[in-house]
Amino acid sequence: MMLKSKTDSPMSIKLMYQISKLACFLTIIFASIISLTLLTGAFSIDLPVTSYLNSETSTVEAVLRNQRMTNEDTYSNNKKDQVLNLKEKIYYKHAILKQLTPVKKTIIVISSLYILYALTLCVFYFKKFMKKINDGHYFNRDTIKNIRHISYLLFSVWLIKLLSSTLLNFISFDLIHMNPMSEFHIANNFPSMAILLSAMIFWILSHVFLHGVRLEEENELTI
C-alpha cells in the first residue's frame, strides 16, 4: 500500500531549516574571508602582529645575551636562574613564531584551509539534509547520502588535525630547545575527540537511516 501522505512538516523542522540556511550563508562568507586573510598573510603581506613579535623577540634576545654574559660566573644564584628560565621560555615562545619556515607555513595553511572548507561543506550538506527533511523525504537514499558525507568530512578533519599537529611537532622538535613544555604542547594539541565522536555518530545514524529506507521500500511494495 502506498503511503504518500504529504503532511506539512512541524514548526521546529521548518525553523531548523531556516537556521541551517542562514548558517550556510554565513559560513560561506566567513570561510571566504578567513581563507583570503590566511593566504595573503601567509604568502605576501607581513601582518603588523608578526612584525611586532619580531621586534619583541630581538629585544628579548639581546637582553638574554647580556644576562648570559654577566651571569655566567654567578650561575648558582637561584633567583637569577629563575629569571633566566622565565626569559628563556618567553624567548622560546617567540622563537617558534619567528621561525616559521616555508614548510611549516605550507603545512599550517594547507591544513587550516582544508579544515575550513571541510567544515563549510559540512554545513552545506546539513542544509541539504534539512531541506530533504523539510520536504518530507525522511527515509530517502539522497537524504542519507548527505549525513554520510558529513561523517566522512568530520573524520577527515580529525585526521588532518592529527597529522598536521604531529608533523609540526616533529619538525619543531630539537634537542637544543627541548624543555618539559614541549611534551605538554603535544598532549595539548591532540585533536579533540568530540569531532571523531560526532563523525562516528553521524556514520551510525546514516546506517540507521539506511535500515529505515529498506523498511520503507518494503512497506511501499507491500500490496
Partner 1 sequence: MMILVNLDVMLAKRKMSLTELSEKVGITIANLSILKNNKAKAIRFSTLESICTVLECQPGDIIEFKI
Residues in contact with partner 1 by the rule CB under 8 A: 1-2, 217-218, 221-223
**Residue number with CB closer to partner 1 (69 or 223):** 223
Q: How far is the CB of 216 from partner 1 (least distance, A)?
A: 12
Q: Where are the alpha helices (DSSP H) in 136-192?
A: 141-172, 180-188
Task: Give the Cα-Cα-Cα angle 214, 219, 221 (nearest 5 degrees).
Answer: 95
Q: How far is the CB of 218 from partner 1 (least distance, A)?
A: 5
Q: How far is the CB of 129 from partner 1 (least distance, A)?
A: 27
Residue 197 near residue 159 (C-beta atoms within 8 A): no
**Residue number with CB closer to partner 1 (89 or 214):** 214
**Residue number with CB closer to partner 1 (65 or 141):** 141
Residue 158 near residue 191 (C-beta atoms within 8 A): yes
Q: How far is the CB of 221 from partner 1 (least distance, A)?
A: 4
| Beta carbons within 10 angstroms of residue 154's beta carbon | 23
Residue 164 near residue 111 (C-beta atoms within 8 A): yes
Alpha-carbon distances, residue 192 vs 69, 146, 163, 174 (angstroms):
44, 23, 13, 26
**Residue number with CB closer to partner 1 (6 or 79):** 6
**Residue number with CB closer to partner 1 (1 or 176):** 1
Residue 161 near residue 112 (C-beta atoms within 8 A): no
| Beta carbons within 10 angstroms of residue 161's beta carbon | 20
Q: How far is the CB of 220 from partner 1 (least distance, A)?
A: 9
